[in-house]
Structure 1
Amino acid sequence: MAYYGKCIETVIEQLNKFKPEKDIPEQFLEAASTSLQTLSPQKQAFILEVLSGCLEYRKLLAVVVDAFYVRAGWLCRRADYNLFEVICYLATFQLDELGFQLFSDIIRSQPLDKMCKFLGFLFNPLSLCSWIKDEWSLIYETAHVSENWIDPLMRWQPEVQELIKQLEKVMTNQSPLPKTKAKVTEPKEFNLTVPRPRAIPVPEPVPVMTKPKPIPRSTYHPPKEQEQLEMTRRYNRWKAEELLLKVNIEEMRCAVPRSRGTTLVQVIPPNNVPVKLNTAAILREGSLYQRQVEKELQRVDKLVDGAGDFSEFLEWQKKMQAKDQEEALAAGECRRLQGKLSREEAILARQLLRQGNKQKADQKKEEQTAELMQQCAERRLQEERSMKELVEQVIEVQKNVKVAQMKLLKGRRQIVQEVIEESRELLQRTAEAAKEEQKRRCELIAQHRALETQPMRKGKLVDLTQIPGYGLEGEMSVVELRERLALLKETQQRKEEEKRDQIIQAKRARSQGLQNMVEQISLCRAAMGRSAALRWEQKKAQSAAPGPPSQDQRVLELRRRIEESAAERRKQAASGPISAPRAPRPKPRAQLESRHWVELQQSRERRLRHWRRLEAA
């Protein structure tokens, strides 16, 4: 029995190594035969025969083993799947060749409880004649299945049942293993060493503190780089002020007569180039400055030719602008006061509206409560009526439950019969379709093999120097075509290099022109920036001086009306205070608004005084 047990273990190990999705059965059997060369020839032949049969009828065996795990082998491990496949193969295909005595020896070499379960499941007459036969008939023909596999299994039925009974008796007669008495742990005393008496400790040496590093001078003195930067900044500021003074002197100088075609613009060489610009910005700004220079030259030409001065017109224009500004300030002050007046009136109207809304809300709330009470009473009456109707319906339904159950049972039985008939027809159709598919595959395989046996020419000689001779215009050989393509490529590369050189020269010339234009733009920017800074300083000094307060009648009238409306609002708030729902903190907000309006009024008065002072000057 140990001999057959080792053979079955070897077969199971080889089956565990087989992967259906990757391995091919023929190659796997060849590899298995080479690995089993060390065994005896008889043992090797038995193992290879069983292994090849399990691989050939793998689908057939999987039907029985999968059903065994579903129906009877719930407690069996999935690791024993190949063991059950081998036993099923031996019982179905090799039982007549091996003989019942050898088969029983193989069964006894395996775990008895597992073999009892599996043999009882496999040799069940009801299973063999019903679902096992039907499932196998889907893979092979029904006549072949019943003649070669089902009938032999039914013939061996009595002997196998006797074998199962013998195995069950052996399992029941096996006495349980005697329980060995556990040894009691005997405690032992610890063999501890006696500690030595402690010696007097040696005094630790007094640590010597290392001298700290002196504080560096840079902690209390600024670095030299900062002093150098400060000196450079002062020098640059002094130089900029000197340059600004020179430019102002040039602007103040009177126009000098000149001949046609000459310019009066003095170009000051810059110390460094300003911020980088792209090409479009440089060209646009250069053209702008060029137009300004041309315009200034035209103005100077007109002055030289005897044109008049615009100083009187500019003074009149300045006075009119000051007057318009004063009127605009007065109008702005009127608009501000009108807005403040409308705000006061809106607050007063909001207070009156809130009081009226509160009275209306109280009246509306009383009406709604009366309506809700009436609706609740009507809803209760309606619910009581609906409950009575529901009780009556439930009583009627209980009476008709039995009749409905009988109808439901009849309908279900009819549906079950129809489903059974449809499943039978579907199984027959699938079997016929499988047969037709098998025939079609066999025909395709035969055609493919016939095509493989036909001789084929594997290569063809080609002469690249030969002209094909199709009669086309400009026909040439492959070698000549390659030479012409090489010459065409060389000429194309030469043209590309020449064009690249031209582009580089054009870029250099353009970059030089742009650099010159950038230098001119930097000079013009510096001059315009200095003049703008002077104008801004003058404007700032003029705006700093305060102006006289406004004496417009419209402004005074609006202020008086604002004070009256504010007094009326405070009086209304004192008589009936109501908290505003949108302003949780009204006092700080009112203070901020009043402060904002006061500051705005002061700023406008300062501007008005400033413009009046300018007009008087």
Structure 2
Amino acid sequence: MNYKSLIQHAQNLLGNHSLFGLKDSLQNKSKISVFNEEDILKKYIDENQCFTNDEKLFLQKVFFGSIRYHSIITPTLETFYTITGSKQLRSKYNFFVVICYICLIHLETISFENFSSIIHSCPATDVYPFLKMIFDVDLLNGGLKEEWEKVLDHNFVKDNVIDVITGYIPDSQLLLKNLSLKTDEGYLIKKTKKKPTEPAPFELTVPHPRRFSTPNLKISNVFKAAPIPKSFYEGTGEKTAIENAKLENKKKSQTEQQNTKQFQVSKRITADKEKYAKEHERIRLQENKPIPKFKYQPPPKLINKPQNLTKQNIASILREDAIVRRKKKNDDNILNQALVNLTDLTEYQKKVDQDIEKDNFEMQLKVEKRHLEIQLLHEDSYVARKEKERENREIVKELIEEKNTLKSLTVQTKQEEEAIKKKIVEEVHEIKENITKARRNVMDENLKKASDLALETQALKAQALAEAQIERERKVELIHQIRMLEKQMPGISSHQKVVDLTETSGFGLLNEMCIVELQERLLLARVRHQEMEEKKREEILENKTKRLSMIAKKLQDIDTEREERKNQRKDKEEESKLALDAALSLKRAVLKEDPILKTLFEKLEAKRLARKSLSSTGVRSIKTFSNSKSNNETCESGIKSTNLQKSRNFNLQDFENEYLKRKENILKKRQTLIDKLNENGKQEKDQSLNEISC
């Protein structure tokens, strides 16, 4: 038996079942369907018609057994996957199901030699960790035993599973060692060679000499044709002789040429130009092409010859500039050295300090001038802004006047629209009153019909009660007769069973238990559940305390960082104040010394005074404007409807046209409303008539 292929087939068979994952061909995701185990096995064997009777029996036992003991196999495999972690793939789940079933249930029925041959046919990297777990005594008597006893009986687990596996543990040590060698070092373990069978001679009787039967075949006397000679296919030797002679002649000519041209000088072959020119003319005449006539035109003589100036690049310009600066620097250095040699160092130092002070003073003057110019520009811009505000106020006044005119027109239009709406409402009320009258008439008719029906139902109920009373009396008589017969019959109390809560049902099932045992198990399960809940609560409290401590630490760090930043800001502010004081002192000194800056400063102050006076007048005008605005806030709805802010000029004729259009639209809407109400009234009348007819 080829165990490797058999285990693969068993794996595929389990894949077809719903417990271990259906194939795509059998699975329909819209409708879940469960296939019978016998049908699945039969279909698989028909598809793969290559099994012997023993192989079929093996597949049948593995398939039905793994489905039957599915409740034991799943917890064992779950523990196996938790122990191994991500080392073993979930795609090999069905493979482990087959081996688990053989280990747990059929280890005693199959001999250990056959079991070891099955294991050796499988990949060692997959089988070794699983067998290591199964043949571990601590695991068997610990977690696995608890899981199995949840499903099976305690005695069955001990006798048929655990005792069998523990009995084969000494034999399994050698198997596990071989598998570990395979997995760790990749060795292929040599199988133990069996002793060859010594053949013994058969004790047979000496056979009689066999008679030869007369031959049935007839010897043919047909004349055989002579075979075709080889020269017909290979040919005569004439062709080969000619080819050989050609090759020899070629070799001779090559050797002769080499000998003659050995000491010749190589010459340059000159082209015959006249010959080529004649050929070219002949070709051109054939094509009848005219000769091109070119006149020599001498170049124009320039009076002012331009200088051949090179166009300089940015890089070349920068290079030349650097060279010039370097030369100047060298000259300055030479002069400085000469001055140092002529004069003392103290005088030179004083001169340098004076130059630096001068440069600083000039720079300060420039900065101050620029600052004053910017302020003057600012003042000019302020004056321009104020003028713009005055223009805007004038525009606003015009708009307010337009608003007032619009307001009066909008009030008129609203009054007319309200009058039209009132008329529509009155008409609608009249229609509704007519509808209510019709409904009242219908209600009266329905009440009459209802009273008639009530009388009929009362009569029918009285009749039904009388019939029920007669039926009840008949049943009472029958019951009385039956009880009289029961009294005459013997008692059945002797046959009744007393319920014993400590007894099992006795059907022979694996998970049989009495009611008392069931109650005990339920109590144990509740206690476990409560313990789990308490553990979870403790974990949640611990996590909360940890998180709060982390947050407190973070808050402390943030507070320290904020204090450091505050200190840094204070230091920076002090430094900036000192710098400002120094700058102001320098600015005052510069203003006193330079007359141009003084004049600019005076102009600036004059403009500031003028600005302040303007601002005081502007505030009064703004107050008056705001009062007018508050009075005219009610007119905003009219302005929004007619967008007259875009155009300053107001045209009354356009407004009248718009008003007439609106009026026409309102009248059309009114007419449509009246038509709809009339239609609704008719429909309601029809409905009420239909109800009456029903």
With a CA cutoff of 8 Å and minimum separation of 6, indicate the structure with the bigger relative contact order: 1
- Length-normalised TM-score, structure 2: 0.27
The TM-score with structure 1 as length reference comes to: 0.30
Larger radius of gyration: 2
